[in-house]
Amino acid sequence: MGLFRLVTGLPGPSGFGSASTAEQVTDGIDASHLTVVITGGASGIGAETARVFALRGAHVIIAGRNMEAADDVKQLILRSTPLARVDILKLDLSSLKSVRAFAGQFLSMDLPLNILINNAGVMFCPFQLSEDGIELQFATNHLGHFLLTNLLLERMKSTAKETGIEGRIVNLSSIAHLLHRYEEVIRFDKLNDKDTYSDKKAYGQSKLANILHANELSRRLQEDGANVTANSIHPGLIMTNLMRHSFLQMCLFLQL
């Protein structure tokens, strides 16, 4: 039934389905009291998320590696929503130094933080090491977001406590965590093993790490009594720049 709804767009119990747009889902919502950080907000799902949050009045922080692309998204938003509050900040999730610099810059702005959407990522890319010497998909998709979340968590907790508004952390994972797996599931001792590297299994590994991160963080937040939730989601199959290393495979899958 899940795949059937995905392909047909048939609404689920919520009244929405895979054919529903972000504007439809957020219709009538006033987000003017919220500040949102969106990683990878310069393209794809992140850009649309930024646009619709801004449309609903939220103060949106677009965190992106390509500042020119991020500014293009900002200008696009301002053309359709002239009073939108949008800032862009540099963030390369494959670099722990960049993650720390972004967090420092954001915190120095002395803004509240209600929502953190860990959206950015790379998918099915050839074997590469990050500048920190870590396999690129694991470094970008998991470690960068893990560090970013930890660096911003206290600001989220304090915002939730001061405003009474539940904070939300969202990790964009993928059903690939089930479809593509190494025998060891997560190869902690072989993250950088080029000889046995699989682009798809490495991606699935990083997406499983996103889920485990959200699950454990959720447990700890509840244990601490913090008014912040952490969840992971599968956003569906959407033809964005993320598919650049698997375009033909995705086209075939979508025809099934």
> 180-202: string of b/e by CB count within 10 Å (b at 16+)?
bbbeeebbeeebeeeeebebbbb
The type of residue at 7 is V
Give pLDDT, residue 245: 43
**pLDDT at residue 235, rounded to an integer:** 83
Q: Which residue has the higher pLDDT, 46 or 236?
A: 46
Whole-angstrom distance, CA of residue 59 vs CA of residue 63: 13
Q: Is the pLDDT of residue 23 over 80?
A: yes
Of 243, 13, 221, 225, the closest CA to residue 116 belongs to 221
Catalytic pick among 102, 138, 197, 203: 197
Looking at the predicted structure, is the pLDDT value of residue 192 above 70?
A: yes
Report the SS3 class of residue 9: coil
What value does the mean pLDDT take over residues 225-240?
Answer: 82
Pairing between β-strand 35-39 and β-strand 59-64 as defined by DSSP bridges: parallel
**Separation of alpha carbons 137 and 199, rounded Å:** 8
pLDDT band for 8, please (50, 70, 90 cuts): confident
Per-residue pLDDT at 11: 86
CB 150 within 8 A of CB 180: no
Distance CA 97, CA 140 (A): 12
Query: For residue 9, what pLDDT band results from cuts at 50, 70 and 90?
Result: confident
Question: What is the rounded average pLDDT of the residues 88-117?
Answer: 98
Q: What is the mean pLDDT of residues 204-230?
A: 97
Is 197 annotated as catalytic? yes
6: confidence class by pLDDT, cuts 50, 70, 90: low
**Alpha carbon 54 to chain centroid, angstroms:** 17
Q: Residue 58: which region, alpha, beta or left (left: phi > 0; alpha: psi -120 to 50)?
A: beta
Going along the chain, which residue ranges are E strands?
A: 35-39, 59-64, 85-90, 115-118, 167-172, 228-233
Sheet order of strands, 35-39 included:
85-90, 59-64, 35-39, 115-118, 167-172, 228-233
Average pLDDT value for residue range 179-184: 83
Identify whether the C-beta of residue 118 lies closer than 8 Å to the C-beta of residue 171. yes
Contact 79, 71 (CB under 8 A): no
The pLDDT of residue 18 is 78
Is the confidence at residue 242, as pLDDT, over 50? no
CATH superfamily of 30-254: NAD(P)-binding Rossmann-like Domain (3.40.50.720)
| C-alpha to C-alpha distance for 79 and 161, rounded to whole angstroms | 35
Q: Are 134 and 192 in contact (CB under 8 A)?
A: yes
